Structure 1
């Protein structure tokens, strides 16, 4: 069994098992799936054909005894000379003095390292043993307790003793359609390829399998959520909804009309709506939410809008109340600071159906909050929910339609992966008249000039945000922190303007007070960490100054920039950064060139990868072993289409061709009954 513990392999005792467990290897299957992150080309080369700075293997004779020179704390340099044909060159190994015993005068040796053509020298990385097989050496992520060779030996041993238990889990039709390697062959070639092409084919197979199995779960969830038995029909009053839309104080954009129609179509189907509404900062998602809530109420249902913070809940309620007729739609606010007596009244009115729309924080899904006839739940900025958390929202005793809203533009590849069980609507157009925020990148030495310009804006009665990445001193990051910056800016702007400070360690109540004071213009300059990222609407704030901007991702910088430019005046975002590399400079440049959040998030994904952009732990994104949702986006699309196609096949679970696939899915995900 591949699920056997790693201790079943000879040579793995308790101590080594713990060291392997630290690498995430606890079973034989974990070990076989622990793929190299790169391969070194170790075929022997002649000096005449080697390029400068190339990593190569050179075989020759040792022509001088090895000498170890020590310098600094625990630093050393091992040096000797080699000869290939009639060419003599020097070899150096740094901080590996123990290799001295492997170097014997007048004997043949093969060294893998980096060639310096100008100096005619090799900086050694490893000495290759006589038993080296093939031209490619797999390189794994290892630790001090587990060496490369140890891991290679264990993997070879696992293939010998357990290789026959690797069973095919993809249907033959897919293997033939895409000319995929068989599973066992592909797994072996991922570790020990004979040629680059063999590795390419092995990786194609492994990546497709990872995406396909994940999408089988996601599409199964989607089918289950949309099944007739779960759904409700929100048979809204078309004429009333039209009249409501026509009375709005502005015209809807074409994009707003399109996504509103998509939501309304879902309402009329006896299937569960599970839709993600993406829209850039300021694209008008709240209006779409208001129309959806109004439509649900005209059908006799209640609506709930759940947001992350109290101040955002208050802001949303104020926006809805401006749009709704108070005689027609009864609204309420429910948060953790709602007083006990008022809270009880609201809960009773919700149970009796006297409240049509309730806005609140997580308090809405706590025990004891019951509705008379809840038809629609909208969650705003909950894009960090994973698949199972989103599902949990549905299982609070209600069966409402759900609309998730996010202002974090998610590229298509990420949406397919993280939100595969949802339908996705996109508002990709800005309302007319909204002024784009002008973005400037300056170096640290220009900060004082920027602050002088900001003072001119403040003198006109406007306000500014100042954002920095850390709260306190950090030895590991040379970043100016919020507390220190707050003190400096207080000196700079006093006594004319009030400077406030906001960061994650301030208690929630105090945070709300500070944000309230900023909104009311009692504070003119707000120094903050990124807690402001999803925040309150302050139309009077026209300047966003971001210190050490190169420490942030593009998507995050764009979110921060979206805090300004919410009023009638022109606004600006100033990025203060001295990037140390080309990647950092490229990111600053991109920010000054576009205000398109979707373009930025795609760039962020390409430059930094999904783990850094969203943080796997918060977002519920799966961690794939070999697959990369950016580099392998085309395979992800194909895998999604194939999984969808299979779920549309009636009773596919009963067909013999899918027995291996079904057994594998059940073993990996026993809780999901839709595989039965």
Structure 2
């Protein structure tokens, strides 16, 4: 019996060589071929020359006025000329280059439809192809490669549709299809490949986008449901002790923090695996929330770990947590690649026997020789900087420990729905009381003198300043400010009254740590740095940041950098110095000065630059879709997510009549599920 899962090799004219060529286009079965949709269409409906614009690609219908003339010139070059008499008696000269075989199809008195580029000034056409009909047809244009031409793809799609249309069934349940006025799947596939007009093509594409997002979100919802039923550890934490710790904090938790703490604690008590993403803007107090969760796990007799992407951030977390837990039975240890062998030799047995119950570190936490006594909760900071394999390795260090992933890079709704759709999401959407909003200004490089006056005023008031550059040293390849040159210039400007420090990624870790410690202690008043300070650096006395060549950074990165100031009680300023060369860069600068809302900025960054550039292609998390664009089609994606959730939330959903086709489809295409990082 015919099935859409049949190999494309079952089609006429598809041998082993063509099977491989199709596989290179991700086409292995008939369903793949039928959903290999055109990326655009040519309007092949015959037009009146009076309606046409110069150089437009159009179809003209008429009668061949005289026999064609073939002229050869040069090696393998030729020109085929003939005149086309249109219905309104206008004569249009037509020229085909290097298609001599068309002469046999062009005869005086024969009716033809010619597709080509129209020259309005000369009232002539450069022919591209002859058409058999012009009954309002739309010509489908497919992504092709050198092994398979457009015409071959079109021929195979036509053959597959005619042979398999009787077995095409709706995957979207009827109630959802009717609610959102979607086409039947058979109609959608037909009109995607062979639309009668632009309206039909548009309606088909809308349904195709919904179906693609719906199937993707169904898989995510199934994973999420399975994860919720996965046996984990119930952590019966000591509520009285936890309240004592919260009461010891030097500040009142915000309403958003309290809400998130309750969500985490609820998950910890359940005997199911927690897989929660905690997102909050820079300075919103995620680390304190994580500390409460970790202490809850510790009061339940288990261990907790916090994994950070850099040694500077790991050391800072370890120091801050040691202060927070100074009066509580928590033994905090730091484990990174820089941990000396002698210290490591002492520390590893203490982790293995449970003497150390809170371990902070980097990738070193998941090395094979690190064994935990009883790991209950793993917190991953700036989680988008870790790959899926590293997160999985951390989970395998215990009996399915609960996972709390944190990010200060606010995740736009697009990413939350796709990359993190299988996780429960908690959001801290307010800043702690007393935090001053950060003023952001954009100046051009010729206004730098006024900026330096502001720097001196801040330093005179006892504050400190960051100066950020995109490069470490001078480069012949790009004309951008570099840290070493700016460092020397600022030394000449400010010393000996104020000390200037330099920090960049090529320094050894001990050197970087020493410089950061000196800056925190106000031994340096100005710190010139690269983006090594982007994450986690916390100096409340720093109230001013200057970012040179700011137009070379993305919005998310600029927002992270800006978050290094405004961490104390004083008002802070971020100065963007940029001479943008294009409208995109200008828009980034004006967006930065108009809002400090990280969620607004992250969505805008996604729209302006695309997901691969925001977080890096491999870690962007946004899967590749055939027809849908998760940024431009966010509304369709959101509706599809809700529709998928409504299906999976039903009891025994896969065995209900309305869901049988899609359940069977997901089973047969399980190997195609997108792997997300």
The normalised TM-score by structure 1 is: 0.82
Distance apart, 1:335 and its partner CA = 1.5
Distance apart, 1:409 and its partner CA = 0.9
Instruction: Measure the CA separation in 2 of the matches of 1:322 and 1:55.
Output: 71
In structure 2, the partner of 1:376 is: 377
Larger CA deviation: 304-313 vs 269-278: 269-278
Distance apart, 1:381 and its partner CA = 0.7
Larger CA deviation: 606-615 vs 96-105: 96-105
In structure 1, the partner of 2:485 is: 488
In structure 1, the partner of 2:150 is: 148
Distance apart, 1:191 and its partner CA = 1.9
Native 8 Å contact 2:93 2:123 kept in 1? yes
Question: Kindly tell me: are residues 80 and 664 of structure 1, through their superposed partners in 2, closer, same or farther at Cα, counting changes over 3 Å?
Answer: same
Question: Kindly tell me: are residues 55 and 579 of structure 1, through their superposed partners in 2, closer, same or farther at Cα, counting changes over 3 Å?
Answer: farther
Q: Secondary structure at the match of 2:251?
A: coil
In structure 1, the partner of 2:585 is: 584
Q: Secondary structure at the match of 1:230?
A: coil
Distance apart, 1:288 and its partner CA = 1.1
In structure 1, the partner of 2:36 is: 34
Instruction: Measure the CA separation in 1 of the matches of 2:609 and 2:125.
Output: 30
Instruction: Measure the CA separation in 1 of the matches of 2:100 and 2:578.
Output: 47
In structure 2, the partner of 1:208 is: 210
Distance apart, 1:86 and its partner CA = 6.2
Instruction: Measure the CA separation in 2 of the matches of 1:196 and 1:14.
Output: 36
Q: Secondary structure at the match of 1:555?
A: helix
Q: Give a deviation string over 1:87-141, Cα, whole Å, max 9, x none.
A: 678999xxx954698698989663444787xx58789694453356753222333
Native 8 Å contact 2:472 2:504 kept in 1? no
Aligned CA-pair RMSD: 4.2
Question: Kindly tell me: are residues 531 and 462 of structure 1, through their superposed partners in 2, closer, same or farther at Cα, counting changes over 3 Å?
Answer: closer
Distance apart, 1:665 and its partner CA = 2.0
In structure 2, the partner of 1:279 is: 280
Instruction: Measure the CA separation in 2 of the matches of 1:205 and 1:144.
Output: 30
In structure 1, the partner of 2:315 is: 314
Instruction: Measure the CA separation in 1 of the matches of 2:459 and 2:73.
Output: 63
Question: Kindly tell me: are residues 165 and 470 of structure 1, through their superposed partners in 2, closer, same or farther at Cα, counting changes over 3 Å?
Answer: farther
Native 8 Å contact 1:385 1:620 kept in 2? no
Instruction: Measure the CA separation in 2 of the matches of 1:671 and 1:392.
Output: 24
In structure 2, the partner of 1:217 is: 219
In structure 2, the partner of 1:462 is: 464
Instruction: Measure the CA separation in 2 of the matches of 1:420 and 1:52.
Output: 48
Instruction: Measure the CA separation in 2 of the matches of 1:332 and 1:566.
Output: 26
Instruction: Measure the CA separation in 2 of the matches of 1:446 and 1:10.
Output: 70
1:173-322 correspondence runs (5 A): 173-176=175-178, 178-227=180-229, 230-322=231-323
The normalised TM-score by structure 2 is: 0.82
Distance apart, 1:223 and its partner CA = 2.0
Question: Kindly tell me: are residues 173 and 333 of structure 1, through their superposed partners in 2, closer, same or farther at Cα, counting changes over 3 Å?
Answer: same
Q: Give a deviation string over 1:525-556, Cα, whole Å, max 9, x none.
A: 4342x454324224454444444433433222
Instruction: Measure the CA separation in 2 of the matches of 1:641 and 1:278.
Output: 21
Question: Kindly tell me: are residues 560 and 57 of structure 1, through their superposed partners in 2, closer, same or farther at Cα, counting changes over 3 Å?
Answer: farther
Aligned length in residues:
654
1:488-507 correspondence runs (5 A): 488-495=485-492, 496=495, 498=500, 500=502, 502-503=504-505
Q: Secondary structure at the match of 1:378?
A: strand
Q: Secondary structure at the match of 1:465?
A: strand
Gaps of 5+ in 2: none
Q: Give a deviation string over 1:547-577, Cα, whole Å, max 9, x none.
A: 4433433222212222333345443333344
Distance apart, 1:382 and its partner CA = 0.5
Larger CA deviation: 591-600 vs 106-115: 106-115
Native 8 Å contact 1:502 1:514 kept in 2? no
Native 8 Å contact 2:69 2:80 kept in 1? no
Distance apart, 1:186 and its partner CA = 2.0
Question: Kindly tell me: are residues 312 and 83 of structure 1, through their superposed partners in 2, closer, same or farther at Cα, counting changes over 3 Å?
Answer: farther
Question: Kindly tell me: are residues 15 and 670 of structure 1, through their superposed partners in 2, closer, same or farther at Cα, counting changes over 3 Å?
Answer: closer
Q: Secondary structure at the match of 1:383?
A: helix
In structure 2, the partner of 1:73 is: none
1:1-150 correspondence runs (5 A): 2=4, 9=11, 20-50=22-52, 56-59=58-61, 85=88, 98=98, 110-113=114-117, 126-130=128-132, 134-143=136-145, 146-150=148-152
Q: Secondary structure at the match of 1:414?
A: helix
Instruction: Measure the CA separation in 2 of the matches of 1:406 and 1:557.
Output: 15
Native 8 Å contact 2:171 2:661 kept in 1? yes
Gaps of 5+ in 1: 71-75
Question: Kindly tell me: are residues 471 and 124 of structure 1, through their superposed partners in 2, closer, same or farther at Cα, counting changes over 3 Å?
Answer: farther
Distance apart, 1:406 and its partner CA = 0.7
Question: Kindly tell me: are residues 601 and 82 of structure 1, through their superposed partners in 2, closer, same or farther at Cα, counting changes over 3 Å?
Answer: farther
Question: Kindly tell me: are residues 97 and 18 of structure 1, through their superposed partners in 2, closer, same or farther at Cα, counting changes over 3 Å?
Answer: farther
Instruction: Measure the CA separation in 1 of the matches of 2:509 and 2:71.
Output: 63
Instruction: Measure the CA separation in 2 of the matches of 1:452 and 1:89.
Output: 71
Distance apart, 1:659 and its partner CA = 3.8
Larger CA deviation: 60-69 vs 187-196: 60-69
Native 8 Å contact 1:384 1:620 kept in 2? no
Question: Kindly tell me: are residues 281 and 81 of structure 1, through their superposed partners in 2, closer, same or farther at Cα, counting changes over 3 Å?
Answer: farther
Q: Give a deviation string over 1:216-274, Cα, whole Å, max 9, x none.
A: 222222222222x6133333333332332222212222221221222222233333222
Distance apart, 1:384 and its partner CA = 5.1
